Amino acid sequence: MQKIAEFLSKRSTVQILIAALVFLSVTVIEDRFFRGARLDLTEDRLYSLSTGTKDLLGDYDEPITLDFYFSKSLATPFPQLLAYGKRVEDLLRAFEAVNPANVQLSIIDPEAFSEEEDEAVVLGLRGIPLSDGSTLYMGLSATNALDGEAIIPFFAEEREKFLEYDLVKLLATLDTESRRTLSLLTTLPMQFGPGGPQAMMAGQAQPYVLYEQLFDFFDVQDLAPDFTEIPAETDVLMIVHPPELNEDQLFAIDQYVLKGGKTLVFLDPHSEAMNPRATVASPSSLGPLLNAWGVDMPEGQVVGDASLAQRVQMGGFGPDSIKDYVFWLSVNDSFLSSSDVVTGAINNLNFASAGVLRQTEDATTSLDPLVTTSAASALYEASRAVGIPDPDSLLRDMVPTGETYILSGRVQGTAQSAFRDRVAEAVVAAGTDTANAPVASGNINIVVTTDTDLFDDRFWVQLQDMLGQRIAVPLAGNGSFVLNLADHISGSDALLGLRGRGISKRPFDKVDELRREAEAKYLVEEEELQNQLTETEARIAALENQNPDGSAVLSVEQEAEIELFRTQLLETRKALREVKRNLRQDIENLGDWLAFINIAFMPLLIVLYVLVRLMLRRSKRTHRFL
């Protein structure tokens, strides 16, 4: 028996030694041959390079130097920072692996008071000061053979999901020669922010994040208010909430589009970004051009959607102050075209007081939807979106048409000029100079969107300050949408995949749907009780102020009637409170039930499965010995 025990002991020791050797061997082999290998199981492939990034890196035929300054030794006591620094390093190594001949990566650990730290300071990198007086750096410097320089001062963890995008954007800023030209016509305060030029003069200008991103990838030229032609070097014409244009300006746009000019149009029945305190709607249009292109945006109408409504706080505090606002839409990927490369990888878009797009009856062009509403939508007068609307009133008045309205769509095909008479006269005047003569028709390729507020930071991005650096954390894919459109329509698809990934806000669509059903159930009852309450208060006031002889003394009958109404008033208020309490209770119960499913349900299923297996195994053993 003792010999058996010794044999088993030796055998266990040998097995442990073999296991240790196998582990060490696998570790060495992995570090030597599979250091860059990764298995990415995330839904949005956040840890894999997109095809566009690989194509972009593969096209470089001149060397690019990437110097990653990371204070790894100082980050050791901070596991989260250390892990994020490793994440950045891994992604940079993946960049290098795509084109090792031309992408050269250096990892630099700038120790305190070293030459490397001096280099980081000179480059403009920012660090986190530590308690011992040292500074922790985690920034990147990029240079190319043409003396182009660009930096990321500090990698903020808040933008981890957008890391690949930030790195590609950095490389794009180096390559200024191959940038496409984007001509921009807008009345929105994009380059100054909400304060407009006054904010710039006060030193408080904060350009729209989207405006800055356009500059990162395009050579942006702002069209002058008195323009009469589109610059010849224009690759993309972007029109965002234009001013009222004269005929010469409309004709210039008409001819640019008909001659194949790539154009993005963003119009609005009411631009909240233009003037949030406006007392009348702030619309924009392109006169006769939309109809000439075969589409129409009904004037003075905004779309509301009960299913896609955003939850907003409309004054006050507590759960009763948070309402579904049907004019502010959070459009999830169920209503974004999955077959279009522009919207296929985007999770959600935020719109505000948007219009709708329709194809005209005599259209010779096609209208392919990119973004739509749900069927639980309806049209309202644009005036109801002005000022401080009542969300409950809008929801009560909604009668869904069952139609899904188009918010953005591609318009392609043969279109006629909106100025045929002018074209005919100009052709005669041009004579034999046909190269510069206007055209009466042409194949067009444009995208029309019925909202301009999607550019406004407050509708899609959260701004944070990190070591003096403005960090933009997207809550919706508005930036991805606009940049993807500009990239794709200008002839480049390189960056489409990566911009749509990693949006931080992922709404619980089923939860929102159940909550809306619960609110709708009680909203009608609440309105009836509120009307009854108002009517009772009015009758009490009328009785107290009305006396036949003009005296202030009430008769016994009047006092009895007032007392009856006051009793009804108290009962109505109690019933109203009960309705609101029931609504909150239903929503809380829904939350508790979902929490149970998410936290306890799966473990219980596993336990049940194990118990069933044990019972079956025990049953088999019993039968075996019988």
What average pLDDT values come out for the chain (626 residues) when binned by 10 residues? Answer: 54 64 64 56 64 83 93 89 92 93 94 88 90 89 88 88 83 76 95 70 78 91 94 96 96 96 97 84 95 97 96 72 91 92 88 97 96 97 92 91 96 96 84 76 96 96 80 90 91 55 50 62 65 71 61 62 70 69 68 68 77 76 58
Q: What is the rounded CA–CA span in Å between residue 72 and residue 107?
A: 10
Whether residues 503 and 553 share a domain: the answer is no
Sign of the alpha-carbon torsion through 101, 102, 107, 108: positive
502 within domain boundaries: yes
CA pair distance 117, 108, nearest whole angstrom: 9
What is the DSSP pairing of strand 441-449 with strand 263-266?
parallel
Q: If you ran DSSP here, which 8-state letter would residue 340 be given?
A: S
Element (H, E) at 222: strand 218-222
* Structure tokens, 301: 């109408």
Mark whether 538 and 474 lie in a shared domain: no
Same domain, 251 and 359: yes
State pTM to two decimals: 0.68
Residue pLDDT, tens place only, 524-567: 666 666 677 677 677 767 766 665 554 455 566 667 766 776 67
- Rounded CA gap, 626 and 604, in Å? 33
- Cβ 138 vs Cβ 70: under 8 Å: yes
Same-domain pairing of 605 and 468: no
319: tokens are: 């759960």
Distance CA 166, CA 92 (A): 12
Asked which of 507, 536, 565 is the last residue of a domain, the reply is: 507
Condensed to tens digits (0 to 9), the pLDDT of residues 273-287 reads 987 777 788 999 999
pLDDT value of residue 550: 47
CATH number assigned to the domain comprising residue 94: 3.40.30.10
381-409 burial, b for 16+ CB within 10 Å, e for fewer?
ebebbbeebebbebbeebeeeeebbbbbb
Q: How far apart are CA 514 and CA 40, in angstroms?
A: 33
Do 461 and 529 lie in one domain? The reply is no
Backbone angles phi, psi at 308, to 5 degrees: -105, 10
Q: Indicate whether 389 belongs to any domain.
A: no
Query: 209 and 140 in one domain?
Result: no
Are residues 461 and 367 part of one domain?
yes
Q: Examine the domain organization and report whether 544 and 516 are in the same domain.
A: yes
SS3 label, residue 617: helix
CA distance 338 to 336: 6
Q: Say whether both 195 and 249 belong to one domain.
A: yes
Q: How many whole angstroms separate alpha carbon 288 and alpha carbon 360?
A: 13
**Domain presence at residue 234:** yes
66 inside domain: yes
Provide the domain count of the chain: 3
232 CB neighbour count, 10 Å cutoff: 6
Buried b (16+ CB within 10 A) or exposed e, 609-623: eeeeeeeeeeeeeee
pLDDT at 503: 45
- In Å, the largest CA–CA distance within the chain is 120
Reduced to 3 states (helix: H, G, I; strand: E, B; else coil), residue 337 is: coil
Beta bridge partners of 313: 322
Tokens representing residue 195 in the block: 């304060």
CA nearest neighbour of 237 among 201, 264, 210, 204: 264
Domain contains 387: no
Q: What does the block give as tokens for 412?
A: 């392609």
Within 13 Å of residue 535, how many CA atoms lie on the same side as its CB? 8
Please identify, among 100, 133, 152, the residue that sits at the C-terminal boundary of a domain: 152
Asked if the structure places residue 331 within a domain, the reply is: no
Residues 6+ apart with CB under 8 A from 565: 536, 539, 540, 543
Q: Which residues contact 613 (CB under 8 A, 6 or more apart)?
A: none
500/521 same-domain check: no
Residue in this structure with the two tokens 């000019």, named with its chain if needed: 261
Residue 233's domain comprises: 180-296+355-372+403-507
Closest-CA residue to 513 (of 337, 350, 301, 334): 334
Is residue 588 assigned to a domain? Answer: yes
Q: Which two tokens stand for residue 272?
A: 């909240």
Same domain, 255 and 269: yes
Whether residues 68 and 93 share a domain: the answer is yes
Boundary residue ending a domain (134, 152, 170): 152
Confirm whether 329 is domain-assigned: no
